[in-house]
Structure 1
Amino acid sequence: MNKTAIWQRHPYVIAALIIVCTTLIRIAFLWSNQLDLVYDEAQYWDWTRHMQFSYYSKGPLIAWIIKSWTSIFGDTQFGVRFGAVVNSFLTQSILLYGMGRLMKRPVAALWAVILANTIPLFLASGILMTTDSPLLVCWVSALFALYAASVNPERKLPYVVLGAAMAVGILAKYMMLAMIGIVFFYCIGLWRQNMLSKIFVKRVAIAMAAGSAIGFLPILIWNIQNDWVGFRHVAKLAGVNKAATAKPFFRFDRFPEYFASQVGLLTPWWFAFLIFGGWTALKQGWTKKGAEQVENKDEVRQALLLSTGFWMLWGFFIFWSFHTRIYPNWSAMSYAAGIMLAAIAVEKGHVWGKTALVIRSKRIPLRKTGVIIGIVLFLLMHSLGQLPFRSRSINPAMRLMGWTDMSSKLQELTESMPNPDKVFYFSDRYGITANLAFYAPQQPQAYCVDWGRRKTQYDLWNTPEDKKGWDAIFVRHKPLEIERLKTLFESVEVMEYQTTHSNGYGPKYYIAVLKNYNGTWPKRENGGY
């Protein structure tokens, strides 16, 4: 009788079933409309109504993807988010093929698929249409193309895939340029292990240069036309321009929060496997003793690539978190290699020692515990809108619900105006402005007034001076500064509005009903980036 577990005998079948089932669950979740759009999703959708070569904070790919699906499913939440489900399906499929076929680790490939469906970071990217969603597809494609090219340098297809992944990835997010660093250090590692081919170096350089140039060209053209605002914005966030430089250079107050966010996004149990797998790969790929203990050169290549793909990015953001604020998702691409390292460690069944790391005296293997808790997390993530918990600290979905109700309130207020056809909507924050554009009646163009904030995409579009004499509705989270509104309108009526949804209360907003716009619009010449 064969005592080998079924998941070890048929890893491709099990992985394929997981991919198909989780994809169907995601589609059902989107169809249920449990969660309203987050601010960034609404903003990216609003970009699709102004198709350009690039945008203030990101490249144009996110708008292209959303536009392609909303042209099929309409300007709906389902249409906006459907691309995230497709990208999740593609990412899992690439992981399965890359680890199973290219790296010849079918069981580890199955574990990679399991981890991709039980880690909060990747669960969120499977239902929320953010720039990390398409970037992840390009990132894992580039990693496997790079590996395939190093194994068989004469074959041309991997270089084509690498160049295409670079081009498309840059259009998704500037972070794709970090792949250049991974290629550089991977080549150094191959050289140290006497496995670097000249033809590999030449063709990889050509593929990277061509892909980067093609992907970067429309973004460069757009920035030239718009006073380099996109590059200035990224420099400010990264803390590399003069205005953003922290004094002193190193600060220790931000690191604990950032590190805790990384453990939370991965979950502590998978994080443990990741660190162990990353450390093991570092020794196997970068030390002579470690490489000698590996059975074949392909495994050394894998250790080099995955350790570089994880530690280079992750280590940089850990270091830079001592200088400036690092958003939790910025290191997301390091986890593309990271979950593969964790999957290899999980396949071996231990974090250290000869047996699985256990939880106290109950002798429960950590990987089994991780799967069980991961399944619970998956089910919770895809039923957030139905959970009975109304506290935002317990149920984070409460922050993402209430705009469907707000849509009805906006409709009611608009219809109460003397001339409902001459009403515009605005806020002083880009996120609320984006949601107003999506949820206000007839999905009109909304505006973002500048009373002291950093620049946004809305500052590059038309402002409402041509709507003199119109009425308006202003929305924000915090109490309104009525005197500022009185400089723009003849009358101001303010109210608090508590949004609701099918399972409780959403966020509270402050709404101003404004009459007779005087045609002036505040503008700052030198806003922050």
Structure 2
Amino acid sequence: MARNALSDHGFNAEWRAVLLITAAMTAVRLAALFATPLELYPDEAQYWLWSRTLDWGYFSKPPMVAWTIWTTTALGGDSEAWVRLASPLFHAGTTLCVYAVGRKLYGPNAALAGAALYLLMPGVQLSSLIASTDAPLLFFIGLALVAYVNLAGAEGRRRLLLALAFGAAVGLAFLAKYAAVYVLIALVLHLALSKQARAAWSLGAAAAALAAFLLVLAPNVAWNAAHGFATVQHTAANAAWGGRKLFNFAELGDFLVSQFGVFGPIPFAVLVGGAVLLAWRRRLTEADLLLLCFAIPPFLIVTGQSFISRANANWSGAGYVAASILVGAWLVRWRARGWLIAAIGFQAVAAVLFLACVLNPPFADKVGLANSFKRAKGWEQVTEKMVERALREGPGELSAIAVNDRFLFNAAAYYGRDFFALPGQPPLVMWLREAHPQNQAETTAPLTARVGRRVLAVSLEQVYRDEMAGDFMAVHDREIVSVRLDKKRRRRAELFFGEGFAPRPRDPVSGRPIPIRP
């Protein structure tokens, strides 16, 4: 009786602790969202633009990020903070999932350590303050793990419900980002390696999980089929291993170093070192094996991709939900209290430093981190200069405002939203450099002869300026505008008027404009 009371007290105390820590950190992040002067970076602006027209898919991503932005902006308006609002809430939910899985597999102390490591992970710090696909992806992976670890020992109706929850969570993860495929890889790997994993499933449970997964994912598959599998093709192109020289040691080194920054230096070292050591000594527990199946494949696959082609630092992020639980459990099991405190302490200091930079960008300049924030500066000012130039022409004088960079298109659509919403204003369109659309803007708002009578053309950083100008019958009134980002950097754009849009022929192989011979 006393033991049960103590167990209940421990359960309540541990859950209370993780809830309080998560709530406090989430409150700080929400406050930072509303206080930061940093602008939306162009991908965030693109997601906002998608959210204006809800659909089951978009050119480069599944629909979840647009759905969440539609929800938050419907509640609070279109300011930057409301565009980003869902991200810290998703990560708060993932933290609770990490604790729930860790408690089930290792007990409350290890679970609390894992939750703290996840909550303070450097990659999560960044992801919590931007609108991205990673936040909902990790949340639904967390939910899938909660259902999966509870399948063992479940019987009858409860096993069926957990299987349905697992399938639905994986389907929702796919609607967030196709990196959810790593969950399916993990499932297959775990079933192949673990007799206990196979015993947890019945034929009915497997059928229920598959049915839930397909039901959730089906509308996105149908959308892709109706749009030439645009999102799938774009994802495959991003992950393509061709087009670059093989064996990129520099890319490999950069990716591996970046993982110390994404997951944290001590946690990443513990993850890699612990996995190798315990596997070599054959001391992996059944819980260790389960989590390694979810944590290691994204890291290994993306590491290979970085060596053969290239890889972004966050592409391995799908594995770090399981990895946080695993590293917390190992440090508690090894009684490495000093290393655990050092890991949490280091990541807490990094979190404070990051928040200081977000709240006060000039501080980032002083500590040498200005380059990390340049993509979230200057877009509003460039858009204002474009709008001012257009307004000087008077109503009806311009047939379109055309830009030659998708980043500028997305930023101008967001920061110029009030201008473009006014009756009679020229539409914002995208000049196509290649024969076929390469992004959402080129697909939905291309510059065509129909709107190319008299165009205010904008070339970001003067890249492809001459190619863009060459698609007009006449060009005049060039003007260069410049916006300061920090002490060392500026963002420049060239504005000019193009008369009579008549695009040159494109090369059938490369898709690019055929040079005009003198």
Q: 1:255 to 1:196 in 2, by over 3 A?
A: closer
Secondary structure at the residue paired with 2:201? helix
Query: Partners of 2:80 and 2:90 in 1: how far apart?
Result: 16
Indicate the SS of the match to 1:332.
helix
Cα distance in 2, alignment partners of residues 184 and 72 from structure 1: 41
8 Å CA contact retained: 1:56, 1:456: yes
Higher deviation after alignment, 273-282 or 119-128: 273-282
1:443 and 1:340 mapped to 2: Cα distance?
Answer: 48
Q: Alpha-carbon deviation of 1:165?
A: 0.4
| Equivalent AA in structure 1 for residue 165 of structure 2 | V
Q: Which amino acid aligns with 1:312?
A: P
Paired with 1:305 and 1:124, the residues of 2 have a C-alpha distance of 28
Checking the alignment, whether the CA contact within 8 Å between 1:404 and 1:439 is kept in structure 2 is yes
Is the aligned partner of 1:186 residue 2:156? no
Asked if residue 494 in structure 1 is aligned to residue 478 in structure 2, the reply is: yes
1:376 aligns with 2:376: no
Residues 450 and 523, structure 1, Cα contact 8 Å, conserved in 2: no
- In 1, the alpha carbon distance for the partners of 2:116 and 2:473 equals 56
Find out whether 1:447 has 2:429 as its counterpart.
yes
In structure 2, C-alpha distance between the alignment counterparts of 1:319 and 1:448, rounded to whole Å: 35
Tell me how far 1:176 sits from its aligned partner.
1.3
Q: What code does the residue aligned with 1:474 have?
A: V
Number of aligned residues: 490
What is the deviation of 1:139?
Answer: 0.7
Which residue pairs with 1:264 in the alignment? 261
253 and 161 in structure 1: CA distance in 2 versus 1, 3 angstrom threshold = same
Q: 1:37 aligns to what?
A: 40
> What corresponds to 1:274 in structure 2?
271
Partners of 1:281 and 1:128 lie apart in 2 by: 37
Secondary structure at the residue paired with 2:249?
A: coil
Normalised TM-score (structure 1): 0.83
Equivalences for residues 426-465 of structure 1 within 5 A: 426-440=402-416, 442=418, 444=420, 446-452=428-434, 455-465=438-448
Instruction: Confirm or deny that 1:17 pairs with 2:16.
Output: no
- What residue number does 2:5 align with? none
Structure 1 residues 74 and 511: CA distance shift in structure 2, 3 A: farther
Which of the residues 86, 90, 96 maps onto 2:89?
86
* Deviation for aligned residue 1:198: 4.8
- Look up the equivalent residue of 1:319 and give its one-letter code: G
Deviation at 1:142, TM superposition (A): 1.0
Moved more, 27-36 or 490-499: 490-499
Relative distance call for 1:229 and 1:373 in structure 2 (3 A) is: same
Structure 2 counterpart of 1:457, one-letter code? Q
Question: Does 1:336 find its partner at 2:321?
Answer: yes
Q: Distance in 1 between matches of 2:87 and 2:496?
A: 36
Secondary structure at 1:177's aligned position in 2?
helix
The code of the aligned residue for 2:430 comes to C
Residue type at the aligned position of 1:461: T
**Equivalences for 1:456-495 in 2 at 5 Å?**
456-465=439-448, 466-479=450-463, 481-482=465-466, 484-485=468-469, 487-488=471-472, 490-495=474-479
Contact 1:390 1:505 survives alignment (8 Å):
no
**Cα shift at 1:128:** 1.1
Q: How do residues 170-319 of structure 1 correspond to structure 2 at under 5 angstroms? A: 170-191=174-195, 195-198=196-199, 200-239=201-240, 244=242, 248=246, 250-279=247-276, 282=279, 287=282, 290=283, 300-319=285-304
Q: 1:78 to 1:247 in 2, by over 3 A?
A: closer
Aligned equivalents of 1:142, 1:9: Cα separation in 2:
24
The whole-number CA distance in structure 2 between the counterparts of 1:135 and 1:374 is: 22
Gaps of 5+ in 1: 1-6, 292-299, 357-364
Query: Displacement of 1:197 after TM fit?
Result: 5.0
d(CA) in 2 for partners of 1:440 and 1:489? 28
**Following the alignment from structure 1 to structure 2, what is the Cα–Cα distance between the partners of residues 188 and 136?**
24
Distance 2:341 2:478 in 1: 55
Match for 1:232: what amino acid?
Answer: Q
Tell me if 1:95 matches 2:98: yes
Q: Give the Cα–Cα distance (whole angstroms) in 1 for the partners of residues 27 and 236 of structure 2.
A: 40
CA offset digits 1:118-161 (Å, max 9, x no partner): 22111111111111110101111112211111232542332121
Match of 1:414 in 2: 390
Question: What letter matches 2:33 in structure 1?
Answer: L
Structure 2 equivalent of residue 510 of structure 1: 493
Q: Is the 8 A contact 1:489 1:514 kept in 2?
A: no
CA distance in 1, matches of 2:218, 2:417: 37
Cα distance in 2 for residues equivalent to 1:398 and 1:98: 38
In structure 2, what residue type is equivalent to 1:467? Answer: V
1:399 deviates by 3.2
Instruction: Give the structure 2 partner of residue 130 of structure 1.
Output: 132
For 1:270, the aligned partner's letter is P
Aligned mates of 1:231, 1:196 — CA distance in 2: 31
Distance in 2, matches of 1:379 and 1:492, equals 50
**2: CA distance, partners of 1:151 / 1:282:** 26
* Residues 136-151 of structure 1 mapped to structure 2, 5 A cutoff: 136-151=138-153
The question of whether the paired residues in 2 share the 8 Å contact of 1:116 and 1:123 is answered with no
**Which segments of 5 or more consecutive residues in structure 2 lack a partner in the other structure?**
1-9, 421-426, 512-518
Amino acid at match of 1:366: W
Q: Determine the C-alpha separation between the residues in 1 that align with 2:482 and 2:299.
A: 40
Q: For 1:197 and 1:498, how far apart are their aligned partners in 2? A: 62
When normalised by structure 2's length, the TM-score is 0.85
Q: Distance in 1 between matches of 2:142 and 2:42?
A: 27
- Determine whether 1:120 maps to 2:122: yes
Alpha-carbon shift at residue 53 of structure 1 (Å)? 2.1
User: How far 1:196 sits from its partner (Å)?
Assistant: 4.5
Partner of residue 388, structure 1 = 363
Question: What is the SS of the residue equivalent to 2:418?
Answer: coil
- Seen in structure 2, the aligned counterparts of structure 1 residues 177 and 205 have a Cα distance that, compared at 3 Å, is farther
Change (3 A) 1:8 1:206: closer
1 CA distance for matches of 2:233 and 2:25? 39
Q: Verify: 1:51 aligned to 2:54, yes or no.
A: yes
Greater mean alpha carbon deviation, residues 45-54 or residues 35-44: 45-54
Quote the Cα distance in structure 2 between the aligned partners of 1:348 and 1:199.
26
Distance 1:8 1:273 in 2: 27
Instruction: Assess, with a 3 A threshold, how the Cα gap between structure 1 residues 383 and 448 changes in structure 2: closer, same or farther.
Output: farther
Worse overlay, 222-231 or 74-83: 222-231
Q: Deviations over 1:423-446 (max 9, x none)?
A: 643322222211111112526363
**Structure 1 CA distance for aligned equivalents of residues 310 and 63 of structure 2:** 25
Give the Cα–Cα distance (whole angstroms) in 1 for the partners of residues 166 and 300 of structure 2. 24
